[in-house]
A = this chain, B = another copy of it.
Amino acid sequence: MLVFRYEDQMVVVDAGLMFPDEELLGIDIMVPDISFLIENASQVKAILLTHGHEDHIGGLPFILPALMHVPVYGTRYTLGLVRSKLEEHGLLQQAKLVTVQPRQVEQIGEFRVEFIHVTHSIVDAVMMAITTPVGTILHTGDFKIDSSPLDGQVMDLPTIAEYGSRGVLALFSDSTNSERPGFTPSETTVIERLDEIFHHARKKVVVCCFTSSIHRIQIVLDLAEKYNRKVVLAGRSMLANTKTASDLGFLRVPEGILIRPQDARKLPPERTAMLMTGSQGEPMAALPRLAVGDYKNIVIEPGDSVVISARVIPGNEKTISRMINHIYKREAHVYYDDGSLPPVHVSGHASAEELKLMLNLVRPKFFVPIHGEYRQLFRHAELAKSVHAVKKKVVIAESGDRIQFTADDAEIVGKVPVGRIFIDEGSLDEVEEVVVRDRRHLAEDGIVLPVLAIDKATGKLEGQVEIITRGFVFVDDDDSLMNDSKARVLRTLEESTFEEVTDWAMIKEKIRTDLRRYLFKQTSKRPLVLPVILEI
């Protein structure tokens, strides 16, 4: 989230969420702390969305209730995703959503905002030119320069160039891939590889990708049609997002190609394909559960082809690697981003040469690298210096920094309070109340640590399940809630496959989810549940 302020008017660009590091186990998602916006609520004139990825729109349901008067601007597909999100949280009625399209100009108070089409891994993405009395700011959002995008809609470089030649005060540009040399390959390079995989497949083809990768999903649907396969969509968000995209005309679903999992079992495997969630090895998503034999109506069988057509989000390497091991043990072929060409996945972010191209087109007075860790910001700054594209200054800012721009200068002049708000989300199966958790009040709900020793060779529990608590309702060890909780943990173990029980990350997550749900039902409290597994 980025806020632009001129005198007493503010516009907000994006409102994303983050998934926590493993170290923060016990919470589901994190959204920005917006106390600064709430304090200045009357000054907030608009929320402008660049595109529909979770790290750009996912915070809206938690942020909007405090800013209900603020209109939200976005393109058709972006707002399509926002709509289903707000509906789920019962916020759609009150929200003011304003659909915009590329080249459209909106005057919002002192801000003149032009939306400019960019290519990215999601459809209908835009960047913004925000003209203020001090000068024009270009904010790229996420982008790559794809010269052969699947939908033929190339990036609007002429408009960017036009702004560049008229003079830009500051460029805020995507640093995600600033460490990668060269150009990011076009989305269409993936077709070649996937076609090859479909061509050689003698059994089922399973493709796992992000559910917002509509281009990627289109490629798979087209190939399924070409090779005469029916398609199963697996995973709740895969179903929801493809429906949104197809309703809005961004996805062409061939007539009659979609079938249900239970119907796929009646077809020969070489007539079926599956599109599913779980590319990051998330324990509750479709592919990771398939990999350990715990998914209804779908089984990975010897000779199947499984394609992980997504990037590895840093921190998920080991989990994904374990998932791949599990799939190989089922004697399927697994295709993933291992450096072989053509690739099964291409990034949606610009590499070094594209970033230089953007910098050279814009030639701003000031440059602020955004999106990425400090290392990526620093490298992006170095790229800018190497091409001498920045007329005055590069400013590397961190979360919360206030940069003050005048026509001639840019300085970090202080910090606003920032932070991350932790959220316990309802589970997939039941609609639970979403809890915005303030860790300061953790003591109110307490901590529950189920401790169990599992024999890695047999997958069997050794000894008892122990439950350690602090600040939670348990009084002493013979409490029936305590005993029932132990029984609940035992049941989770019994309901899990051998592969799940011996995969510590996965079984911890299952125990955590089940026990947390159980305790909430019994006590209406949400203690932090941190399973501890001892390997013996």
| Residues on B with beta carbons closer than 8 Å to the beta carbon of A341 | 181
Once bound together, how far apart are the Cα atoms of A463 and B471, in whole Å?
A: 14
Chain B neighbourhood of A374, CB < 8 A:
325, 328-329
Q: A341 vs B180: C-alpha distance in the bound complex, in angstroms?
A: 11
- Bound: A378/B331 CA distance, A: 9
Judge whether A534 is part of the interface by a CB distance below 8 angstroms.
yes
* A453 x B462 contact (CB < 8 A): no
Question: Beta-carbon contacts of A472-515 to B below 8 Å, as 1s and 0s?
Answer: 00000000000000000000000000000000110010000000
A316 to chain B: closest residue by CB = B317
A314 at the interface (CB under 8 A from B): yes
Shortest CB–CB separation between residue A261 and chain B, in angstroms? 26
Q: Find chain B residues with CB under 8 A from A468 CB.
A: 447, 449, 468, 470
Partner of A23, one of B21, B338, B453, B505: B505
Option from B318, B321, B378 in Cβ contact (under 8 Å) with A375: B321
Known contacts A374-B329, A468-B470: A23-B533 contact under CB 8 Å? yes
Given contacts A22-B22, A321-B375, A375-B321, contact A420 B535 (CB under 8 A): yes
User: Given A418-B457, A468-B449, A470-B468 in contact, is the A439-B328 Cβ separation under 8 Å?
Assistant: no
Binary interface profile of A, 433-453, with partner B (CB < 8 Å = 1, else 0)? 000001110110001010101
- Selected from B317, B470, B508, the residue in CB contact (under 8 A) with A466 is B470
Interface residues on chain A, number (Cβ under 8 Å): 57
Main secondary structure of the interface of A (DSSP, over half): mixed
Residues of B within 8 A of A370 (CB): none
Report if A439-B22 is in contact (Cβ < 8 Å); known contacts: A318-B314, A339-B181.
no
Alpha-carbon distance between A417 and B532 when the two chains are bound, in angstroms: 25
In the assembly, what is the distance between CA of A422 and CA of B329, in Å?
A: 27
- A504 nearest in chain B by CB position: B23
A485 to chain B, nearest CB (A): 15
Q: Is A245 an interface residue (CB 8 A)?
A: no
**A430 interfacial by beta-carbon distance below 8 Å:** no
- Say whether, besides A21-B318, A442-B534, A451-B447, A328 and B378 are in contact (CB < 8 Å): yes
Question: How would residues 346 to 375 of chain A score, 1 for a CB under 8 Å from any chain B CB and 0 otherwise?
Answer: 000000000000000000000000000111
Interchain CB contact (< 8 A) of A338 among B180, B420, B439, B451: B180
Given contacts A23-B505, A317-B317, A462-B440, contact A375 B532 (CB under 8 A): no
A315 close to chain B: CB less than 8 A: yes
Chain B residues whose C-beta falls within 8 Å of the C-beta of A24 in the assembled complex: 504, 535
Is A426 close to B, CB under 8 A?
no
Instruction: Give CA–CA (A102, B378) in the complex, Å.
Output: 48
Q: Is A456 an interface residue (CB 8 A)?
A: yes
Contact A456 B419 (CB under 8 A): yes
Which residues of A407-440 are within 8 A (CB) of B?
Answer: 417-420, 422, 438-440
Give Cα distance in the complex from A19 to B223, angstroms: 44
Residue in B closest to A471 when the chains form the complex, CB atoms: B466
Other-chain contact of A440, B314, B440, B451, B453 (Cβ < 8 Å): B453
Sort A-B residue pairs by CB-CB distance and give the 6 closest, nearest first.
Answer: A439-B536, A325-B374, A328-B378, A23-B504, A179-B338, A324-B375
Supply 17 further A-B pairs (C-beta < 8 A) apart from A23-B504, A419-B457, A420-B535. A23-B508, A24-B535, A180-B339, A317-B317, A321-B375, A324-B375, A328-B374, A328-B375, A334-B375, A419-B456, A420-B456, A438-B536, A439-B535, A442-B453, A447-B468, A447-B532, A528-B534
A-B contact pairs, 29 of them (CB 8 A): A21-B504, A22-B22, A23-B508, A24-B504, A24-B535, A179-B339, A180-B339, A181-B338, A181-B339, A181-B341, A314-B318, A315-B318, A321-B373, A321-B375, A328-B374, A328-B378, A334-B375, A417-B457, A419-B457, A420-B456, A439-B535, A440-B536, A442-B453, A443-B463, A447-B451, A447-B468, A447-B532, A468-B468, A528-B534
